[in-house]
A and B are shown apart, each in its own frame.
Chain A
Amino acid sequence: MSELLRLTNLSLTYPRQTAPALVDITLSLVPGEKLAIIGESGSGKSTLARAIADLQPSGTQVSGEISWPAFGRPAQPGVDYGMVFQDPGSNLNPVLRIGEQVGEAAQRHLGLTWRQAEDVALDLLKKVQIPQPEAALRAYPHQFSGGQRQRIAIAAAIAANPRLLIADEATSALDTLVQAEIARLIQSLVTSEKMTLLFITHDIALASQLADRIAVMHQGKLVEIGPAQTLITAPASAYTRHLLDTYIDLDAAPRIALGAS
């Protein structure tokens, strides 16, 4: 199967910066796979997502190549890939009704009339499990909780049936319960809509639950990439090992002396 996306020796330096934000990244994404990119603050993981989505600020120096073999042409935002960001507030226009913002992509990219686009928007709201979807079409973003806004942002991102969904820390601002719901939603949509997923997160455990493969970024470099389970159980790099060793989850032992209180 031909690759969906291929990055070849991608390097990137932001305007007025001397240190590169991405250094010589080579990786590819095959259709239908779920790739998580993990790293700490400043590792370059969001820069990488934005470079793929062609969202870098003007004046950014880019070298290397981003190609889309499955399309045989540059990818179109909205049509070929949809993107969801961390802050559900900034994903949505606060003064636009939900029906308009979810329908806009369908209207614009699929050449539908507004009437048809509204039907598509309704279907999408059902798909992302917004309660009372008919009423939601006429509501505004502030009338929804953070988790529901993120569902609406996902609906808008997939309105034109993109092949690739890019989620940039899309669950990080949500509480644990809602994070788990949104992660499940993304997972089931990617399967049912036959999408490919690029999931950017700082949380290696979340990445391991959601993704087939994990890429580890550190200081702008791709440190390691491999199948999720292999990377967790037998990491090749010292940095990944360090991330795993310092990760605190429910399987880690308490750090306090118990019985002392």
Chain B
Amino acid sequence: MTPILDVKGLTKTYRSNGRVVQALDDVSFSLAEGETLAIVGPSGSGKSTLSRAITRLVGVDSGAVQFAGQDWLALTSADLRRQRRQMQMVFQDPLEALNPRASVFSAISDPIRIHRLAPRSAWRAEVSALLDRVQLPTSLLDRAVHEVSGGQRQRVALARALACRPRLIVLDEAVSALDVSLRARIIDLLIDLQRQEKLSYLFVSHDLGVVKAMAHRTAVMETGRIVEIGPTLSVIDTPQSDMANALIAAVPRLHRGPSQ
């Protein structure tokens, strides 16, 4: 299968006050259509820089990204604007990602309008259908983003991403702030959407439990490098790197007893 995303040799150095931080050090991987790759690692390991480099929110020093058959990092800003809808991003805190005073309707219809994905007369039906797909009632349409609950807001952010009909969604700690029962529902929703649309996910997380639940493969990062990458269950059951071992040991576990 040809990959939807192919990352080769990404390198990025931050300099501040004479300090040099190697945020990305020769990072390479690929992601297939319909696949979820988790990026795990401690704070400062470079996982957020990686997702920002791929979504072109930060530039890199060297390396290449092939996305949907294009040289993604070489796109001019005009081309990027047209193409960007194919690669969407959902962040941890939807209140920071969305305009809190916008209505749910405008938060979700903005990309439809901007990318001219449907005629104006169809916007409302389109947004209602998206709300339905993320399991939100259409009665929320005219509510302000800041008025709905945290879990509803994260589903609005997801609906907004889906409105662009993306092929890849970068989920940067997108379920980390949610309550446990809601987290399970959003994960199931993401898995359903992936199955229906052959969506690919780059799933940045520090929560290995959630990674095990939804990622096909997992890459472990430490100080800007991928120190281990493989099928999620192999990484979790037979970790090869010290970092993977440390991350697994640090996950709180429920000792549910022999029945489980």
Contacts and interface: CB of A to CB of B under 8 A. Distances in A.
A204 interface: yes
Contact of B257 (A205, A206, A233, A250): A233
Contacts of A205: 252-254
Given A177-B250, A249-B251, A250-B248, A255 B256 contact: no
A186 to B, nearest CB: 13
A217 to B, nearest CB: 12
Interface stretch (A66-74, A104-112, A238-246): A238-246
A251 B237 CA distance: 11
B172 interface: no
Contacts of A80: none
Contacts of A255: 187-188, 191, 213-214
A261 B34 contact: yes
Interface string A126-137: 000000000000
A144 interface: no
Contact of A251 (B32, B42, B207, B260): B260
Interface in A216-237: 229, 232-233
B114 interface: no
Interface stretch (B59-67, B81-89, B121-129, B176-184): B176-184
B252 A249 contact: yes
Interface of A: 40-41, 145-146, 174-180, 202-206, 208-209, 229, 232-233, 242-244, 246-252, 254-256, 258, 260-261
Nearest first, the 4 closest Cβ-Cβ pairs linking A and B are A205-B252, A180-B250, A40-B179, A249-B209
16 contacts: A41-B150, A175-B42, A175-B43, A176-B207, A176-B250, A177-B247, A203-B252, A208-B255, A244-B256, A248-B209, A248-B210, A251-B253, A251-B256, A252-B209, A256-B36, A260-B216
